[in-house]
Chain A
Amino acid sequence: MNRSASRTVLLDAALVGVIAILIVASLLIGQVHLPLGDVIGGALGAAPAKSTIIIQQLRLPRTLLALLAGAGLGLAGAVLQGFLRNPLADPGVIGISAAGSLGAVVAIYFGIYAASAWVIPLGAMSTCAVATIILYVIAARNVGTLTLLLAGIAINSLCLALISLCMNLSTNPYAVSEMVFWLMGSVSNRTLFDLGIAAPFVLAGILILLRSGKVLDAMSLGEEVARSLGVALQRERIFLIGGVACIVGGVVSVAGGIGFVGLVVPHLMRPLAGHLPSRILVPSMLGGAALLLAADIVVRLMANGPELQLGVLTSLIGAPFFFYLIVRRKALSDE
């Protein structure tokens, strides 16, 4: 027990180191070559104006947003997998992610998004809030966790159908391409303003979810035993849904739909940190941040022609990797 706990600390430290290296790389890499001195100076506001603008208005927001979104999605995935006791769960399954996308797509559909930088984030957050309230109403009826999961899947499907409807009915091809790009998910061309919108929600959600380790550990013995161990399930559900909704709402409202991070990262961390749900929370948060920032660096390195959208890359890498994890898992359990 002590051994695996100290292994988790080592893992966390290693991930922090990786993140630090990735931050430096992320600030160095871009279409304009900047020497390290300008990067550091730019971050501190002490470099030539051009370098300062590139660092402070392009690379820094992008880097921070990738870290924030990755950390939030990785943690939310680990919590949902533990809470739903389903290794296939990710922030998408409870429908809040698709709900946020729907809000943004509707804002684009009606052409009001050009009016203010607030429109798309507000649209996404309001639909996230509606989806969260629906989940709360269902959870308040003291149904099982499976019912909650199925309700989330239904919300997810309905939102995707409504997104398709918006695209279908849109007479403006520019609007449709805006929607498609937005749905792909990206952190490029985001500003510190965008970061400022997302950060309070994502950080609040992270704080809520980091406290859920005890509940998730108890849940690994099933809901009934968890309650016999003192878990107030009804109340904890409210907290967990709220925490996930804050994170997903914050991320979706400024970065669009970035898939697979929440699903894959906990699976990457389990062999390293052990299977106890509480042990993978911090590693999944750090791992998610590292993975998404690394993916965003890859996107920039590949930028010949149209830039690959971050969400496309995470899914392109994430899906086959997830397939590999499933096949390996099956092989192990068949032994």
Chain B
Amino acid sequence: MSRLTVRDLSVWLQGAPIVRNVSCAVGAGEIVGVIGPNGAGKSTLLRAACALIPAAAGAAVLDGQEITAMSPDARARAIAYLPQRHVLHWDLSLSQVVSLGRLPHVSGMDRLTPADRDAIGRAMEIAEITAFADRRVGTLSGGELARGMLARALAVEAPLLFADEPVAALDPYHALHIMELLRDLARSGRAVLVVLHDLTLALRFCDRLLLLQGGRLIAEGAPQDVLVPERLEAAYRVNAEYGVRAGEPYIVPWTRLPGGGLG
């Protein structure tokens, strides 16, 4: 059972503190949302927690081992990372892109074993992209691409998945689809850390939320306890409408507070 613990993590980028003294944890079986206004340090926290950028202080520890002390391959096998922007430089098929997720396990793409192919097949099934796996990535719609890139991250079969705004550019149908997939992953025993801007998705799909503002963790806990009016006003500078539908709460940001935003 994997558990990532972040202790007093601080990150400076270009002389400015972006993440300040954040401590948090994510464990197997749970989906933890990272929320906060633009510039709060959400993506930076995610990237530093998997050692993509160096931390100025503090540490991220995975099952007792500091992640900066792990070999690049071991780290890559432990934490799958799905960035906010999907980059693909060559005209590859979707199945080739998903296969790239096996690179931490093999010495090269011509060395994929049957076990690797099984993992690729499972990832494509989970993300429901098997039907168009042979298509060129350039021909896919935004929703198909998002699921394809998620499948690439799933093919790593890492116990932890970090996803940075996986629903940012998606229509409601595909956003719900991705969130359902992430929740199912957590239910199947993985640890999922996901950056979100949609507060209702955060409220409905996450087991716990981390609310960042100005690089600091200002609230942590169950979604209903974090997303309360005073915190939304302080962090996001908005008034929101709260409601309940079929027993599930929702939030609709409604008006800006006077005095300007924070990020």
Contact = CB atoms under 8 A, between A and B. Distances in A.
Contacts of B87: 221-222, 224-225
Contact of B81 (A1, A213, A225): A225
| Chain B: interface size category | 35 or more
Listed residue (A214, A219, A279, A333) with the most chain B CB atoms within 10 angstroms of its CB:
A214
A56 interface: no
B246 to A, nearest CB: 38
A218 B100 contact: yes
The prevalent SS among residues of A at the interface is helix
Contacts of B83: 222, 224-225, 228
Interface in B126-160: 138, 152, 156
A131 to B, nearest CB: 26
Interface stretch (B5-13, B26-34, B70-78, B175-183): B70-78
A224 B52 contact: yes
Interface stretch (B102-110, B191-199, B229-237): B102-110
A173 to B, nearest CB: 48
Nearest to B47: A224
A279 to B, nearest CB: 8
B112 interface: yes
| Chain A: interface size category | 20 to 34
B95 A214 contact: no
Contacts of A333: 138
A36 interface: no
Given A217-B100, A276-B96, A227 B72 contact: yes
Contact of A222 (B89, B91, B107): B89
A190 interface: no
A7 interface: no
A328 to B, nearest CB: 13
Interface of B: 47, 50, 52, 71-73, 75-77, 79-81, 83, 85, 87-92, 95-97, 99-101, 103-104, 106-110, 112, 117, 138, 152, 156
* Shortest beta-carbon contacts, A-B, top 7: A230-B76, A222-B87, A228-B81, A85-B89, A275-B90, A230-B73, A230-B104
